[in-house]
Amino acid sequence: PSLGLFLFETFTSLLCIVSLSGQKNVTAESGRNVTLTCQARKNIQTVEWRRADLGDEYVFLYRDERKTSVHQHPCFKDRVDLKDKQMKDGDVSLILNNVTINDTGTYECRVVEKGTIGLKLISIITLSVVPPGDFFTLFKSLCDMVCCHKKMDMLSNKTQAECAKMENVSHHYTTSPN
């Protein structure tokens, strides 16, 4: 009945929900580095990370055996790189350094494998960035993803009650005047 057990149950349930939904949700603290995961097959020719709200500009692009920044959105220049530059075993995860609130959004990872034509969507990740030290916002986002999800039966009754309590506390915390 400890907070540690509650967080473990929440995290475990979150992983189940994320894998069931096909999309991933990541919450990060402003100023931190974040890895957006994307796993493709081997023999990758092109990797493209985009955010829909950026129009024609991309977050990261690797093609012709090198990264390019010709049409990269200026906010991401010198802040993004592949986790594994050799893309061993198809790992095309993106590291986003020093995240800010402006990095909040939905990211798409697409690849072209050698011998194929056209970009193939591999991963969709929704990133939420919260102010540093804002425990209640960070925790509330976990509760939103877990407690308000249709798969409530994956959590124990005690965990649901704890989550509801935390939602009430965080709501009070975020709406109370200073």
Q: What is the pLDDT of residues 53-63, one digit of tens each?
A: 999 999 999 99
For the ranges 63-67, 134-138, 165-169, the lowest mean pLDDT is seen at 165-169
Predicted TM-score (pTM) of the model is 0.66
User: 129 pairs with which residues across the strands?
Assistant: 28
């509760």: which residue's tokens? Answer: 143
User: 68 pairs with which residues across the strands?
Assistant: 61
Domain ranges of the chain: 22-130, 132-161
What is residue 126's DSSP assignment?
Answer: E
Average confidence (pLDDT) over 62-81: 92
Q: What is the pLDDT of residue 147?
A: 46
Looking at the predicted structure, is the pLDDT value of residue 138 above 70? no
Cβ(148)–Cβ(17) under 8 Å?
Answer: no
SS3 19: helix
The domain at 22-130 falls in which architecture? Sandwich (2.60)
